[in-house]
Structures are given as structure tokens and as C-alpha cells.
Chain A
Amino acid sequence: MKHHLVLRVVSKLLIPFILLFALYVQFHGDYGPGGGFQAGVIFGAGFILYALIFGLETARKVARPAVIRVLVAVGVLIYGGVGVVSLLLGGRYLDYSLLAHVPAHGQHLGIALIEFGVGTTVAAVMITIFFAYAGRGRR
């Protein structure tokens, strides 16, 4: 699709806003609709659009498969790690109340952290799956 000038220009304009919207959905999920899962999907979709328009090789340079592969695990580790931290603080697994002095604030912090973990894993997995599919097709 390298020769589709209109597509290239429009997607170049849109992709920053898609990624920004994903971050908004991620960090505003506590107050409005959305959360880590939706944000991760939108973030991944931004990269997939980039790969569709500018080619897989270019996209691989932006989102290095080795980095993405690590991020797949990092998200789950953040989620599980929050649980371990609450264990170490003397609470039950994934009981966020002890993460701050006020239990409600600890809950808020814990929710934000695990949503971030969810978003990281989902975005990385979406990009990985797309790269795997698209990489197969070019043999």
C-alpha cells in the first residue's frame, strides 16, 4: 500500500490520535467507560494500522518483536506483582487496600496499576498476533 498517498497521509494524521485515545481510555477507565483491555486493543490497532499502511518491515522497526515479546509477559507480571506486593504488606493476594495509607486510595492505586498491566499485555499480544499472521503471508 506504499503508493496510496491519501491513505498514507490520513493514517499518519490519525495514528497519533488513536494512540492518544488509547492512553486516555487506559487512564480514564476509572472515571468513564473503558479500561486496560479496551485501551490495549486500541493501542494495538494503532500499530496494526501502521503496519498495514507502511509495511510490516517498517512496523517491525517501530515495534521491535523482541521488545513486544517481553511486554507480553511484563503486563501479566505487573498484575501478579501487585498481588505479591499486597501479600508482602500483610494483606491477602490482590487486596489493594494496603497499598496506600487510606484503604480507598490503595484500592484506586491498585486498580490503576493492574489496569496498566492488562493494557500492556493486551496491546503486546494483539501486535504479536498480527505480526505472526502477517509475517506468515509473505513467504
Chain B
Amino acid sequence: MLLSFLAVTAIAIVSLRDLFAVVMLFGIYSLLSASIFLVLDAVDVSFTEAAVGAGISTVLMLGTLALTARTEKKPAHLAWLPLLVVAITGAALIYGTLDMPRWGDANAPINQHVVPRYILGSLPETSVPNIVTAVLASYRGYDTLGEVTVIFTAGIGVMLLLGNGNSNRRRKKGGRKR
């Protein structure tokens, strides 16, 4: 049900030329993805998707639209080659899912490798009840440090490219607000 909503939203995004509507649909798409993660019991991922995908990125996309144009140009010709590549990749990905273990199977590799160790060990070892937090912050602390550095770099990059939005240099003229 949610997946079919997702597909409808994706088709609408591809077919629309009005980028404002596309950005709004992207927000809906993210919210639907968040609902799917929630149904799959991945609460933390769902939370992130709802906050980042549906919240912040929508605002940033609107900000980008305000800087650029609101409508997409009509393509000069139909892009058959990209369509072919996308179709083949999609088919290959679906083929790849065919021999996946059943969802929630206790004998699946994903539930066998380090997961029992985390489930049994995280509470006595870290005294943090949320296993996701324990894994992210303690067992995989280096990875999270890397992620924070990526965000830090992104912030620095935007500052360097767009300036810090310093109003001292550019005085307002006819305050433009959404």
C-alpha cells in the first residue's frame, strides 16, 4: 500500500515540469519512506528520514528554487539511453532481491553476524538501553565521527561557495521573503 503510494509519487515527480510541485512531492515521498521504515520497526531511521528528508531538504530545495528557476526546461529529445540504463539497473536490483532471505528470518546472515553480540552485550557494556544509539555512538564510534566530519565539511563548503550570507556586504533591497 505504502509502496504503491511511493511509486505514484515517483511517477508524478518524473512527469511534472513545475519544480515547486516537484519539491512538495519530494517531501511527501520522504514522509512515505519514513512511514515504511516505521512499519519495518526502524524507528531511528524513520525519525531521521522524516526530519531530514521531509523537513530540512524541502526547505533547502525551496531556497534553491528561489535562487534559480521555478520550471524545468522541456528536454530537446526523449532520453532513451538513460531510460534503458535505469530499466536494466532496476531489473537487476529486483533480480537481486529474489534470493534474499525472508524478512525477519532469524537465520538470515544479517541476524547472525554481530547482531546477537550487540543485543546481548550493549546493555551491560554501555548501560544504554537503545541498541541503535549504542551501536552508532560506541561500537561504531569512528563511523559516526566520520559522518559528523562530513556534515562539518558540507557546512564549510556551503559557507565558502555561497558566502556566509553576510548582510553587511549586500544590503537588503525590497526584503524578499517566502
Contact = CB atoms under 8 A, between A and B. Distances in A.
Interface of A: 1-2, 25, 29-35, 37-38, 41-42, 44-45, 48, 52, 55-57, 60, 65, 69, 72-73, 75-76, 79-80, 83, 94, 96, 103-105, 107-108, 110-111, 114-115, 117-118, 121-122, 124-126, 128-139
Interface residues of chain A: helix, strand, loop or mixed (majority):
helix
A76 B178 CA distance: 33
A37 B44 CA distance: 10
B164 A69 contact: yes
- Report the contact-size class of chain B (Cβ under 8 Å from the partner): 35 or more
Contacts of A65: 164-166
B136 to A, nearest CB: 7
A56 B172 CA distance: 10
A80 B44 CA distance: 24
A25 B159 CA distance: 28
B71 interface: no
B127 A60 contact: no
A132 B163 contact: yes
Contacts of A33: 43-44, 46-47, 130, 132
Contact of A131 (B128, B129, B144, B164): B164
A56 B145 contact: no
Interface in B117-162: 124-130, 132-134, 136-138, 141-142, 144-145, 147-149, 151-152, 154-156, 158-159, 162
A103 B56 contact: no
Given A25-B47, A35-B133, A94-B142, 8 more contacts: A42-B55, A48-B56, A73-B152, A76-B152, A83-B141, A118-B148, A128-B155, A129-B154
Interface of B: 43-44, 46-48, 51-52, 55-56, 59-60, 63-64, 66-67, 124-130, 132-134, 136-138, 141-142, 144-145, 147-149, 151-152, 154-156, 158-159, 162-167, 170, 172-173, 175-178
Nearest to B50: A38
Residue among A55, A65, A133 with max Cβ neighbours from chain B (10 Å): A133
Nearest to A134: B63
Given A107-B126, A138-B172, A96 B152 contact: no
Nearest to B63: A133
Contact of A111 (B48, B137, B162, B176): B137
A122 B151 contact: yes
Contacts of A104: 124-127
